[in-house]
Amino acid sequence: MSSTLFRTKNVEQSIRDTEEPEHALRKSLSALDLTVFGVGVIIGTGIFVLTGTAARNTAGPAVSLSFVVAGVVCALAALCYAEFASTVPVAGSAYTFS
């Protein structure tokens, strides 16, 4: 059990696996998938606008500070992901790296 749980694959094998046609990603989004995705984006935008309006009316300047802190944290997370992605040039490389 422990041998299969802690099994690893080296980077060269991961790159060789992505070059095989049966491991390639296919375009599989239909018109319905794209429509549902668009509706989700619209609903998500509405939630953010509603949250911002409520925060403006009740929270005051703390909202601006929280957005600045969230932006800095998101930028640091993006840099971490970029470091992982550049280490292993395979799709989903952050997961492959970890």
Asked if the structure places residue 55 within a domain, the reply is yes
Closest alpha carbon to 52 in 41, 42, 66, 40: 66
Residue 12 identity: E
Three-state DSSP at 27 gives: coil
Would you say 17 and 88 are in contact if contact means Cβ atoms under 8 Å apart? no
Beta-carbon contacts of 84 under 8 Å, excluding residues fewer than 6 positions away, are 93, 94, 97, 98
Quick check: pTM over 0.85? no
Q: How many domains are contained in the chain?
A: 2
Q: 56 and 66: one domain? A: no
pLDDT tens, 41-73?
Answer: 888 887 777 777 777 788 777 777 888 888 899
Task: State mean pLDDT over 71-90.
Answer: 82
* Domain housing 40: 30-60
Asked if the structure places residue 5 within a domain, the reply is no
Residue 96 has a pLDDT of 60
Tell me the percentage of the chain whose pLDDT exceeds 90: 8
